[in-house]
Structure 1
C-alpha cells in the first residue's frame, strides 16, 4: 500500500548554492512541458501559491530571461546557470518550482501530466495552467 503524501516544507536551490529557497505544500504531481525552453532545461513543473514559497537568499543572486510575451520571468543563477524556479506565463501570480531542484524528492513516485507547450495558446485554453499541486496559502 502506497503512503499518501502529506504537506511538508521542501528545500531547494541551484547547483552552486547561490540560490536557496523553501516551498511548502503537498507534492504529488508534476507537469512536463514540451515547449522549447522547458525541453532544453529539463524542467519538471510544480506551480504553487506565492505564499507557499520563501526565497532564502538575496534576490540580487538571481538573473532573469524573458522572451516572446515577456510575461514569464525565467529566473536562474548567473553563477551556475541552474533554473530552480520562475514566474510562469500560465500563472504569473504564482511560482513555478523546478522539482528537479528540490532536495529529497523521489521523482519516480510522482504522477506526471504533460502540457503541449509547443502549441501553448491552444493548450492553455483547455488547461487552467500547469499542475498547481496543493500548496499552502
Structure 2
C-alpha cells in the first residue's frame, strides 16, 4: 500500500534538537544490534536530502562503535536518541519515529533488521 509523502517535525525530549523529515513511511525497522536493542527505537529510513536539522547541532553528541561507520546522535541535554547516520547506506539516516510529533506508527509494516550478525 502506497502512502502519501508527509513532512514531519521531530525533536528530542527537551526540544534542544529539532528536525524535519519528508517520507512516505514505506516501512519501519527495528534492529537487533547491541545498541539498538538497548535503545528500543523504531526507525524510518530517510535519505539525507529529505532530512533537515532545524536547531540543536551544538546540543548533539555522537557515539560510534564496532566498525566506527554508523554515527549515532544523542541530545547532550536530555539524552534522547533522535537519529543516526546508517552504516550500510551512509547517505541515509535512521529516524527514531518516537521522536516525531503527533506520529502514530499503527498500520505501518515493521521489518526486523539484522545488525548483530553484520561483520
**Could you tell me which residue of structure 1 aligns to residue 41 of structure 2?**
43
Q: Does 1:72 align with 2:50?
A: no
**Could you tell me which residue of structure 2 aligns to residue 21 of structure 1?**
19
CA RMSD of aligned residues (A): 1.4
Shift of 1:90: 1.7
Match of 2:99 among 82, 98, 101: 101
Shift of 1:69: 0.9
**Inter-partner Cα distance in structure 2 for 1:9 and 1:83:** 20
Unaligned 5+ runs, structure 1: 122-137
Q: Does 1:112 align with 2:106?
A: no
**Inter-partner Cα distance in structure 2 for 1:107 and 1:70:** 30
Q: Answer 1 or 2: which has greater strand percent.
A: 2
What's the TM-score once normalised by structure 2's chain length?
A: 0.92
**Inter-partner Cα distance in structure 2 for 1:93 and 1:28:** 18
Shift of 1:4: 5.3
Unaligned 5+ runs, structure 2: none
Q: Which has the larger Rg?
A: 1
**Count of residues paired in the alignment:** 119
Give runs of ≥4 in structure 1 deviating > 2 Å: none
Shift of 1:64: 0.4
> Alignment partner of 1:108: what SS?
coil
Shift of 1:45: 1.7
Q: Answer 1 or 2: which has greater helix percent.
A: 1
What's the TM-score once normalised by structure 1's chain length?
A: 0.81
Q: Does 1:9 align with 2:7?
A: yes
